Chains A and B, each alone.
Chain A
Amino acid sequence: MGTTTDLTMQQVQHVAALARLALTDEEMIAIGKDLQAILHHVDKLSEVDVTGVKPLTSPHSHCSRLHDDMAEPPLAAKTVLDLAPATEGDFIAVPKVLTGGGDA
């Protein structure tokens, strides 16, 4: 990992796009600074010798198990639709997904 190099504005913008966050330039600068400081602290992990150490994704090994493959009653459609911010009939309404190129 080495020492964190400075995050560029392009990197911060790229991460914000991946995270589906619309940030103003000011917010980008502030959050970039914070990330830099946190990553600097995290850099101490790079000093640890992890040669041959197997990653541990979860400590729940004492209880993780496979689920029985059985159908369970789902939530009622109305319950689910009532939670949605916008609906049309029995559907959740969303803006147009495909833009351009189509013949619609």
Chain B
Amino acid sequence: MSDHCETVCEIVSAVTTGHTTATAVLEERLRRIATSDEKLGCFQDTREDTARAMAAAVDAKIAAGEAVGPLAGVPIAFKDNIMVTGEPATCGSRILENFISPYDATVTERLRDAGAVLLGRTRCDEFAMGSSTEHCAFGPVRNPWDPDRVPGGSSGGSAAAVAAGFVPCSLGSDTGGSIRQPAAFCGITGLKPTGGRVSRWGLVSFAPSMDQIGPFTRTAEDAALLLQVMAGQDPRDDTSASTDQVGGVAALQAPLEGLRIGIPTEHISDENDHGVNAAVQQAADVFRSLGCEVKPVRLKTTDLGIACYYVLGPAEASSNLARFDGIRYGRRADDSGDGLEALYAASRSEGLGPEARRRIMLGTYVLSAGYYDAYYKRALQVRRLIHDEYARIYSEVDLLLGPTVPSVAFKFGSHADPISMYLCDKYTVTANIAGTCGVSIPCGTIDTDGVALPVGVQLQGPVLGEDILLRAAHQFQCATDFHTAQPTLA
């Protein structure tokens, strides 16, 4: 296949102009998966037959001179918590091992209509709870840059699949950093849109006030194209944004002259890995050279993010995951004869893994009588403070810049203590708490134990600020080539 078919935009252009076919693009990706995914474990499942049929349908339309959608012939992988009619959606959990989605998620419908080829489902931490994809009941995913290290999480399979070149784009969900953090660890672009920008209908809920679907891509331009296809109001999700569509690729071209970018001093911490702060400063210099005004700002609530998140997230999760009781769908334990309540407990205990249980227990505790005001209500008040601080900052600067994660990808088993795992998300959770948007883009590598590991910077923007956010990311990528680096697969 042509070397010019690596990005989404390149594929659409090559397919629609007849330089290649959707079928040829798909076969090349299936070949790469067959060769290398056994080692990495990105995919829970590939759907080769239906993918071939979708690619053939795109080719037939083009041959007949019919109009095709904006993602014609683009192979895409889905995180295994997004529903596709007739396909499993395990969420990385034994409790949903045999569940078959009875309907399409809204994003699935919109991507189908746009001509994308749904290639398969990727592994994730159970119910999207984790930062390493070690908590997937069906096996971990390995980082394509160093298989001894995690790809990040929870959308680790989706991130690693793009980094490895198995797909040009994939979908993840981000509740506290689950798109941006693995994008940083895998050296690709990962966008968490504004809360409400993309319909959550058909995404298995974890914490609905923070969950958001978003794309993994090689470039910000591709992210803009995918967002344009997926965004917009959905009558089935009453929290989906009623504002106009995003501007897509056309909105990325204007120069950045005069753009105000703030670097939160709280993000340039001595606790970050060696090299992370320097990478952020280098990125800041690139933005300065593009005419931006870059200055330090204070984001004083940064340090409260994880504490606030580990009340709100588990509280919402404990309520949402109550639906998995072994009765209407999902795994049911053998009936012990001790009645319905015992069956609920047995099914849940058999089906749910350690991290999901931990969060359910924590959420149940903070919502229980006597603790609700002390924990849940107080966390909601702190959420207001975080939200208001962001709102104030975005009246002073257009975007924020900082490290996506305090470290590079870590080794399997090195974050066995839950708190140390949770702190991976300290720079990303606040955007979920406040409902704002953010994107992680590659900004270089750091030599670690003899391996060059990718490091990501996070650009953050205000509510519904994706156009300016992606414009800055795109202009950065036009001026640099960090995003073109690819791992060599063993």
State the A residues within 8 Å of B (CB).
1-2, 11-12, 14-16, 18-23, 31, 34-35, 37-39, 41-46, 48, 50, 53-60, 62-68, 75, 79-80, 82-86, 92, 94-97, 99
Contacts and interface: CB of A to CB of B under 8 A. Distances in A.
B332 A86 contact: yes
Interface stretch (B38-46, B95-103, B151-159, B479-487): B95-103
Nearest to B100: A83
B303 A59 contact: no
Given A50-B381, A79-B102, A84-B328, A38 B360 contact: no
24 contacts: A15-B361, A19-B318, A20-B341, A34-B418, A35-B362, A37-B419, A42-B311, A42-B379, A44-B303, A44-B304, A45-B311, A50-B385, A57-B209, A59-B387, A59-B434, A62-B243, A62-B464, A64-B238, A66-B238, A83-B99, A84-B329, A85-B332, A95-B335, A96-B339
Contacts of A22: 342, 345-346, 348-349
Size category of the B interface is: 35 or more
Given A44-B307, A45-B382, A95-B335, A20 B418 contact: no
Interface stretch (B166-174, B275-283, B370-378): B370-378
Contacts of B289: none
Main secondary structure of the interface of B (DSSP, over half): helix
B138 interface: no
B378 A45 contact: yes
Contacts of A66: 238
Interface string B411-440: 000000111001000000000011110000
Contacts of B346: 22
B242 A65 contact: yes
Interface string B370-401: 00001101111111110100000000000000
Interface string B188-214: 000000011000000000001100000
Contacts of B380: 55-57
In the A-B complex, list the 5 residue pairs whose CB atoms are closest, starting with the nearest: A59-B435, A55-B380, A85-B332, A50-B381, A22-B345
